[in-house]
A and B are shown apart, each in its own frame.
Chain A
Amino acid sequence: MVADDSLYVGTMEGKLVGYTLVSEPRLAAVEWWRFPPRGEPGLFAIYGTPFVEEGIVYIGAYSGKVYAIDGAAGIEIWEYPRDGFIGPIVGSPVVDGGTLYIGSSDGKLYALDVQGGQEIWPPFQAGGDIWGSVAISDGVVYFGSFDHKLYAIDAQTGAPVWDSPFETGGAIASTPFLHNGTIYFGSFDNNFYALNLDGTEKWRFEEAGNWFWGQAVAYNDIIIAGCLDHKIYALDAESGDEAWLPFETGGPIRGDPALVGELVVFGSDDGKVYALAAATGGERWRRTLEPPTQVRAPLFPGEGVVYVHAFNDTVYAFEMEYGNTIWSVTTSE
């Protein structure tokens, strides 16, 4: 996550690291602080992308706690729960209107006050783990669960909005993507779905060979989503027809793609980062990460830059024109 010349990275060691992006004497990322500090045990792992708002960084840890950290000093402001733990957290926190929403492996969706971390309403209980993040629009929170269902609940009260959640054939680990009044998401039944905001099905794409896990992005009216069958699919937002032929990589595509200008950039488990023309699917460049590793975390777009957090605990910054590496930094201690 990049905000105000700062880069915040959650690591597999369970540390949140704050970097300052400097341009003198050369472009680089300089470590500023880490939470918990060096030498102290980590929070198991931080899978989700940190959320930054008004100088405060919010993270969910796999240890089963939510933290609010001061973005300037790396000091804890509050944690939830104060005593004990909730289920392991895999998704990213999302803050909207002073409320932080986060799902957990205990099957609960939590709504917390960003000021002190108190519960706004009692946790909403789904039928399975919640590994994805939420999408919020017009006071409604949308999220999927391992119980095969996509839920829509009221952001203020936590009450269900639809008569019954939308049910797919498989677990839902992807974060729903909202675009032009439609909810787009993929499922472990190998299908990609488009729903109207009232929870009725608009279309479904059934040609994929494995699960959809990452969140989709939209370029004009093309929905682009990576799949664990090693391909990235581009679908017409209205009909669900393929906008261009699927682009195949050498490994499953787990992370979210990023849109930078007219390019869609994504990483694959084959250890490469690809940039395609979002309109046509034509390949612009590809880069193999060194040392060899996998890309599983969502890519984060900046101004003419894309940040890639690879599985080898290294963050790479690629310039978008030719895909050259600007800098790379290791997050492990």
Chain B
Amino acid sequence: MSNRVVYMTRRNLIIAVIAAAVVAVLFTYGVVETWNLVLLQPMLNFLILLSSVLFGSFGLAIIALTIIVRLCMFPLTMKQLHSTRAMTSLQPKMQEIQKKYAKDRPKLQQEMSTLYKEAGVNPLGCLWPLLIQLPIWIALYQSILRAVAATPEDLLRLSQNLYPLSVVHQAVPLESGFLWLNLGSPDSFFILAILVGGTMWLQQKMMTMPAVDPRQQSMSRMMLWMMPLMFAFFTLQFPSGLALFWVVSNIIGIVMQYFVTGWGGLEGIVQRWRGGITRAPAPATPVVREQGMETIEGARQEEKVTEERVKEEKRVEYGKRGGKREERRKGRRARSKKTRRKS
């Protein structure tokens, strides 16, 4: 317990130091400069460095950086995915409570918080990993756009964001050719647009869980199509370097999603594809039982416990009923003995 207290204090201290440093930099340099210093410039220079290492290929550098950033954020992403899944599995119970206490708001809130507490789920648990990741994604997105530097203005701006390393300066301007693409301009063959839309649809489909509420169902069906179409359209407008990042990021997202929820919403399609003979084996989910237990594993274990309890109760009930039956049988036997004696 004391160790835990010490650990928490240390962690808080580190967080406080980081927050203080960020605030100090913010006051000294302003928001834009701080953003550039803390996030954009490190990522941009690393991207250029990667390009220099990977045979001067900007395309390979984008792929490598996307993989590295996603790996660095792996714990956060997993936490977010687990939280989302756990919240989804609570949906039926939540709806039940909402129906039951529709007119009693305080009671509803109380019951909901009890439900969260019992299930060990934090309703904001899926939000904060997303919030932490968001600035990193924006910085990555910006650094790719800046590194492309197709026009003289872009190149001039890029020059002011480079670290004084000869390897970085010498690598610029980056080689914009990659496969059939010019990473500085949109893909004229529409292949990337299809890939972006397709991978995004797959990821969304895997994430979509069957909803009980018809409104929620129609909403998720709309999102399933709207987001991929929107991003496919963006791909036709933006430099293909950015679209390449979207494709790679989506593919990594699909792989991660598979290891958390299996095929999820794609289960039916996968089974149909396999001819319905074999069922797609659900991947082994790592047991991540942390404080709060806002994980799908937690929800699954709880479901198992409930099932066990129900079975046990049934057994007891059956046993009780069996005992009564026995008593009745004994009574019947005793009564028939008496009648036989009388006769």
Contact = CB atoms under 8 A, between A and B. Distances in A.
Interface residues of A, number: 24
A210 B159 contact: yes
Interface stretch (B165-173, B220-228, B272-280, B291-299): B165-173
Interface in B148-187: 151-153, 155-156, 159-160, 162, 164, 166, 169-170, 172-173
A192 B155 CA distance: 19
A171 B166 contact: no
B169 A252 contact: no
A189 B156 contact: no
A146 interface: yes
B173 A211 contact: no
Given A169-B166, A170-B170, A171-B172, A252 B156 contact: yes
Given A169-B166, A209-B164, A129 B159 contact: no
Chain B interface, DSSP helix/strand/loop, else mixed: helix
A19 interface: no
B173 A189 contact: no
Contacts of B156: 213, 228, 252, 254, 269, 296
Contacts of A169: 166, 170
B166 A228 contact: no
A129 B160 contact: no
B170 A129 contact: no
Contacts of A170: 169-170, 172
Contacts of B151: 45, 62
A67 interface: no
Interface in A174-225: 188-190, 209-211, 213
A131 interface: yes
A188 B152 CA distance: 13
Contacts of A209: 164
B172 A188 contact: yes
Interface in B102-146: none
A35 interface: no
B18 to A, nearest CB: 30
B148 to A, nearest CB: 13
Contacts of A171: 172-173
Interface in A116-131: 129, 131
A269 B156 CA distance: 10
A189 B169 contact: yes
A47 B169 contact: no
A90 B152 CA distance: 8
B341 to A, nearest CB: 117
A209 B166 CA distance: 10
A180 B156 CA distance: 31
A131 B149 CA distance: 13
A129 B173 contact: yes
Given A47-B152, A189-B166, A252 B160 contact: yes
B166 A252 contact: no
B173 A146 contact: yes
A190 B159 contact: no
Contacts of A213: 156
The residue in A148, A171, A173, A296 that gathers the most chain B C-beta atoms within 10 A of its C-beta is A171
Interface in B6-46: none
A35 to B, nearest CB: 22
B159 A228 contact: yes
Contacts of B166: 169, 189-190
B160 A188 contact: no
A95 to B, nearest CB: 23
Interface string A263-301: 000000100000000000000000000000000100000
Contacts of A190: 166, 169
Contacts of B153: 296
Nearest to B162: A210
Interface in B293-316: none
Interface in A122-160: 129, 131, 146, 148
A110 B173 CA distance: 22
A252 B172 contact: no
Interface string A30-53: 000000000000000101000000
B235 to A, nearest CB: 22
Given A190-B169, A211-B169, A228 B160 contact: yes
Contacts of A210: 159-160, 162, 169
Contacts of B164: 209
A189 B166 CA distance: 7
Contacts of B159: 210-211, 228, 252
A269 B162 CA distance: 17
A102 to B, nearest CB: 16
B195 to A, nearest CB: 27
Contacts of A252: 156, 159-160
Interface in A57-77: 62
Contact of B170 (A62, A189, A228, A254): A189
Nearest to A251: B160
Contacts of B170: 148, 169-170, 188-189
Contacts of A189: 166, 169-170
Contacts of B152: 47, 90, 131, 296
B36 to A, nearest CB: 15
A124 B155 CA distance: 25
Q: Which among B156, B162, B166 has the highest number of chain A CB atoms within 10 Å? A: B156
A173 to B, nearest CB: 8
Interface in B178-220: none
Return the 9 tightest CB-CB contacts between A and B, nearest first. Answer: A170-B170, A228-B159, A169-B170, A189-B170, A211-B159, A254-B156, A90-B152, A210-B159, A171-B173
5 contacts: A169-B166, A173-B155, A211-B159, A252-B160, A296-B153
Interface of B: 151-153, 155-156, 159-160, 162, 164, 166, 169-170, 172-173
Given A62-B151, A228-B160, 6 more contacts: A90-B152, A131-B152, A189-B170, A210-B160, A228-B156, A296-B153
